[in-house]
């Protein structure tokens, strides 16, 4: 029998359901309100700068290119880019970029609306399986407010899970309904969901099992006819995916023992994450270092879960949602290679928690005469403040990156160090940024390399070329790359070592994809080699010293340029126009102390000090204070952990 709990409801009952759905949607959005103020974080900016998102392209292009398609450059592609096929998610981000530009609030709003839609679908599916309205609302709120889903909802790049789940839940809704051509409608939803993210195929597996087992008296040919649309949807998606991704960067290979340990550890971690929803984390486990104890726990859990399910004897409609939940988790257990450094991730629980929310609603309806829904509401209410607070983390880049460093799963995972160091450098906290980069360890090769590159860049902008060269040569010994070859050529040219610069330029020319890039590097080497001696000559007059500062800036030696400008603050020939230009430079490249010094000199010189400048400086210095507080807190916690 197909569940029909909501089919014979009265108009009053249907009105109550609609009101409950509206309430659930509003509550889902309300708890995530702090995320609307959130900036682009983690991989957001890099993703939005990919060619197919940065500019709207013809519709067909999105279905003919991989997700994370990067522009050709002289350097090696980032690990894992182009390894996925998610054209509909890419198109949605491109449309957002077209509509909202660099305003992240518009992106976040779409994510919250999609989450609200999914919340109403969970409620509707629970009702279709026979849950009472209070229990269905409780199940929907358990899903909507589950703290570990914050990464999917509040992170712009996490939209793939939310969109895929929207179509997956719609496919389940259609499958359980009585619409004409429902199997074909469900198949369309499945294809659209898979075009957002692969996890939608978990719903396809569930629907396949459901359709095959709905009528035990049916013949094999009749059953085959029922599953044809679902199979066709999967074949269509997988065929397109295989065609488009041919030649894409594969996932990082793991040895079989490491893969098995990581898979078992992931089983344990996802089980613990479902039980302990109150402690979301940005990074969970480290793939290159599986945890043996958790792997043992995962091995123990597998037969226990199997026995529990056999004893529970779930009905067929409940089996549908169990299959969806388990397959969605199985897809990210590293049995099939996936990109990433972590063993588990909160965002991978989005569709499984939606399916489990439906099942919990049904279970609550049948326990204690329905009074279990009260417990469900209480549990959901305990989630709400945690999710609100976590949404605030995603709504604040300083808190986000500080939290990322604090929650890093392994000392070898350098991603958080890189992001926090970049934020410190943007605010002129160069020494603190360099320390974050230096703390990165080479186990995470790609991000460690970027940390060394940025650390050397900070030294180079201050004229410390020898130290910068030493760092990059060490990094090059760890992993040769065209990017490092180019940077080393420029650094040697800055030191006046033209022969060494030419040698590195030749190495770059041999590996550059475009010969024009090699020609451009050769011209840069010549320009720097000619410019540096002129900047080393003694200067005394104000115009000469200003020209030297401009020369440093043109060569990218911003810290030297700022030091030169600050040394001119006591010169009586400095005008308000000069000082306003210095303040602009200080906001971009100066330390907080240099910024304050220029601001004080400008205020003392010009009575018409622009209020816009004053507000920018206040905001910058307030952020600097918060960054320094986070830096001290992280340093203290790391010292305590080391003791």
Q: 611-642 and 430-439 are packed helices; what angle lies between their axes, rounded to 10 degrees?
A: 30
d(CA 601, CA 634): 34
pLDDT at 310: 85
d(CA 365, CA 544): 82
d(CA 24, CA 170): 17
Among residues 293, 252, 247, 287, the alpha carbon closest in space to that of 272 is found at 293
pLDDT at 77: 36
pLDDT at 8: 47
252, pLDDT greater than 70: no
* Residue entry with tokens 């829904």: 373
Among residues 191, 193, 206, the alpha carbon closest in space to that of 162 is found at 193
215, pLDDT greater than 80: no
Task: Note the pLDDT tens digit of each residue in 161-188.
Answer: 999 999 999 999 999 988 788 999 999 9
Residue 354's CB is within 10 A of a number of other CB atoms, namely: 30
Q: How confident is the model at residue 445 (pLDDT cuts 50, 70, 90)?
A: confident
The pLDDT mean for the chain works out to 89
What is the percentage of the chain residues whose pLDDT exceeds 90?
62
Per DSSP, the residues of 96-148 read HHHHHTT-HHHHHHHHHHHHHHHHHHHHHHHHHTT--HHHHHHHHHHHHT-GG
pTM (predicted TM-score) = 0.90
The runs of H, that is alpha helices, within 444-513 are 445-461, 465-478, 482-494, 498-511
d(CA 541, CA 323): 78
27, pLDDT greater than 50: yes
Phi-psi region of 355 (alpha: psi -120 to 50; beta: other; left: phi over 0): alpha
563, pLDDT greater than 50: yes
Q: Say if residue 163 is exposed, middle or buried (CB neighbours under 10 Å; 0-12, 13-18, 19+).
A: buried
Task: Note the pLDDT tens digit of each residue in 225-247.
Answer: 889 999 999 999 999 999 998 87
Task: Note the pLDDT tens digit of each residue in 45-78.
Answer: 888 888 888 888 888 889 988 887 654 333 343 4
Please check whether residue 120 is in contact with residue 29, taking contact to mean a CB–CB distance below 8 angstroms: no
Both tokens of 595, joined, read 């910024």
| Number of alpha helices (DSSP H) and beta strands (DSSP E) in the chain | 30, 0
DSSP tag of 156: G
pLDDT at 71: 43
Mean pLDDT check: name the lowest of 428-437, 575-584, 605-614: 605-614
pLDDT at 221: 79
Mean pLDDT check: name the lowest of 68-72, 142-146, 260-264: 68-72
552, pLDDT greater than 80: yes
411, pLDDT greater than 80: no
Beta-carbon contacts of 456 under 8 Å, excluding residues fewer than 6 positions away, are 467, 468, 469, 471, 472, 475, 487, 491
* Residue entry with tokens 């326990």: 367
The distance between the two most distant Cα atoms of the chain, rounded to a whole number of Å, is 98
Instruction: Return phi, psi of residue 344, to 5°.
Output: -140, 160
d(CA 42, CA 130): 41
Q: How confident is the model at residue 80 (pLDDT cuts 50, 70, 90)?
A: very low
pLDDT at 186: 95
Beta-carbon contacts of 288 under 8 Å, excluding residues fewer than 6 positions away, are 254, 258, 341, 410, 412, 443
Among residues 114, 101, 87, 110, the alpha carbon closest in space to that of 48 is found at 101
Q: Find the mean pLDDT for residues 380-400.
A: 96
Tell me which long-range contacts 95-104 makes (C-beta under 8 A, separation of at least 24). 95/56, 97/48, 97/53, 97/54, 97/56, 98/56, 104/38, 104/39, 104/40, 104/44, 104/156
pLDDT at 248: 64
Task: Note the pLDDT tens digit of each residue in 286-322.
Answer: 888 889 999 999 999 999 999 988 888 888 888 999 9
Task: Note the pLDDT tens digit of each residue in 484-508.
Answer: 999 999 999 999 899 999 999 989 9
Tell me which long-range contacts 292-299 makes (C-beta under 8 A, separation of at least 24). 292/261, 294/264, 294/265, 294/268, 294/269, 295/261, 295/262, 295/264, 295/265, 295/268, 296/264, 297/268, 298/263, 298/264, 298/265, 298/266, 298/267, 298/268, 298/269, 298/271, 299/264, 299/267
At residue 243's C-alpha, the angle toward residues 242 and 247, to 5°, is: 80
398, pLDDT greater than 90: yes
Please check whether residue 146 is in contact with residue 277, taking contact to mean a CB–CB distance below 8 angstroms: yes
pLDDT at 249: 60
Instruction: Return phi, psi of residue 573, to 5°.
Output: -85, -5
Task: Note the pLDDT tens digit of each residue in 618-632.
Answer: 999 999 999 999 999
Both tokens of 603, joined, read 């205020």
As beta bridge partners, residue 344 has 284
Please check whether residue 419 is in contact with residue 431, taking contact to mean a CB–CB distance below 8 angstroms: no
Q: Distances from the Cα of 561 to the Cαs of 434, 487, 531, 556, 564, in angstroms? A: 19, 20, 14, 9, 5
Query: What are the extents of the domains in the chain?
Result: 12-395
Q: Which residues of 281-298 are buried (b: 16+ CB within 10 A; e: fewer)?
A: bbbbbbbbbbbeebbebb
pLDDT at 635: 92
Both tokens of 642, joined, read 């080391």
Among residues 322, 125, 333, the alpha carbon closest in space to that of 206 is found at 322
pLDDT at 337: 78
pLDDT at 72: 39
Bigger pLDDT: 381 or 367?
Answer: 381
Q: How confident is the model at residue 82 (pLDDT cuts 50, 70, 90)?
A: low
pLDDT at 79: 42
As beta bridge partners, residue 284 has 344
Both tokens of 468, joined, read 């910068």
Q: Reduced to 3 states, what is the DSSP secondary structure of residue 344?
A: strand
Please check whether residue 148 is in contact with residue 349, taking contact to mean a CB–CB distance below 8 angstroms: yes
Q: How confident is the model at residue 250 (pLDDT cuts 50, 70, 90)?
A: low
């Amino acid at each position: 029998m197909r569940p029909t709990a909501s089919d014979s409801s009265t108009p009053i009952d249907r009105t109550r359901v609609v009101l409950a759905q509206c309430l659930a949607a509003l509550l889902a959005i309300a708890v995530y309100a702090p995320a609307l103020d959130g900036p682009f974080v983690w991989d957001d900016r890099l993703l939005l700068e990919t060619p197919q998102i940065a500019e709207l392209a013809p519709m067909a292009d999105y279905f003919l290119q991989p997700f994370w398609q990067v522009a050709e450059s002289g350097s090696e592609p980032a690990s894992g880019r182009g390894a996925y096929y998610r054209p509909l998610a890419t198109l949605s981000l491109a449309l957002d970029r077209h509509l909202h530009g660099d305003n992240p609030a518009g992106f976040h709003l779409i994510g919250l609306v999609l989450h609200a839609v999914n919340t109403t679908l969970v409620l509707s599916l629970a009702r279709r399986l026979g849950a009472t309205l209070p229990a269905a609302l409780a199940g929907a709120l358990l899903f909507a407010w589950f703290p570990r889903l914050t990464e999917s909802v509040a992170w712009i790049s996490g939209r793939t899970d939310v969109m895929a789940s929207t179509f997956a839940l719609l496919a389940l809704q259609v499958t359980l309904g009585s619409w004409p051509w429902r199997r074909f409608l469900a198949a369309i939803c499945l294809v659209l969901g898979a075009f957002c993210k692969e996890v939608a195929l978990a719903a396809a597996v569930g629907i396949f099992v459901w359709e095959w087992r709905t009528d035990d008296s049916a013949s094999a040919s009749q059953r085959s006819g029922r599953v044809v649309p679902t199979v066709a949807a999967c074949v269509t998606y997988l065929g397109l995916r295989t065609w488009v991704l041919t030649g894409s960067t594969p996932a990082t290979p793991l040895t079989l023992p490491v893969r098995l340990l990581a898979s078992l550890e992931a089983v344990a971690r996802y089980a613990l994450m479902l039980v302990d929803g109150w402690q979301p984390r940005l990074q969970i486990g480290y793939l290159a270092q599986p945890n043996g104890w958790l792997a043992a726990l995962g091995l123990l859990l597998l037969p226990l879960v199997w026995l529990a399910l056999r004893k529970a004897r779930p009905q067929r409609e409940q089996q549908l949602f169990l299959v969806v939940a388990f397959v969605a988790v199985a897809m990210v257990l590293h049995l099939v290679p996936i990109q990433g450094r972590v063993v588990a991730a909160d965002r991978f629980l989005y569709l499984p928690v939606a399916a489990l929310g439906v099942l919990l609603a049904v279970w609550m309806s049948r326990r204690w005469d329905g009074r279990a829904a009260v417990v469900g509401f209480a549990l959901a209410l305990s989630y709400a403040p945690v999710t609100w607070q976590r949404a605030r983390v995603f709504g604040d880049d300083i808190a986000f990156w500080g939290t990322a460093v604090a929650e890093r799963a392994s000392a070898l995972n350098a991603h958080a160090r890189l992001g926090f160091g970049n934020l410190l450098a943007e605010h002129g906290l160069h020494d603190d940024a360099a320390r974050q980069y230096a703390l990165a360890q080479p186990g995470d090769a790609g991000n460690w390399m970027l940390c060394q590159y940025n650390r050397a860049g900070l030294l180079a902008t201050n004229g410390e070329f020898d130290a910068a060269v030493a760092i990059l040569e060490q990094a090059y010994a760890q992993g040769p790359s065209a990017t490092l070859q180019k940077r080393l050529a420029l650094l040697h040219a800055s030191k006046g070592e033209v022969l060494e610069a030419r040698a590195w330029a030749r190495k770059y020319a041999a590996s550059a994809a475009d010969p024009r890039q090699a020609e451009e590097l050769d011209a840069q080497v010549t320009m720097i080699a000619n410019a540096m001696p002129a900047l080393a000559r003694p200067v005394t007059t104000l115009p000469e010293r200003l020209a030297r500062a401009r020369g440093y800036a043109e060569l990218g030696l911003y810290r030297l340029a700022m030091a030169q400008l600050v040394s001119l603050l006591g010169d009586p020939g400095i005008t308000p126009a000069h000082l306003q230009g210095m303040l602009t430079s200080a906001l971009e490249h100066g330390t907080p102390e240099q910024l304050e010094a220029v601001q004080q000199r400008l205020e003392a010189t010009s009575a018409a000090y622009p209020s816009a400048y004053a507000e920018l400086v206040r905001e910058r210095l307030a952020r600097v204070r918060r960054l320094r507080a986070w830096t001290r807190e992280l340093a203290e916690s790391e010292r305590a952990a080391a003791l």
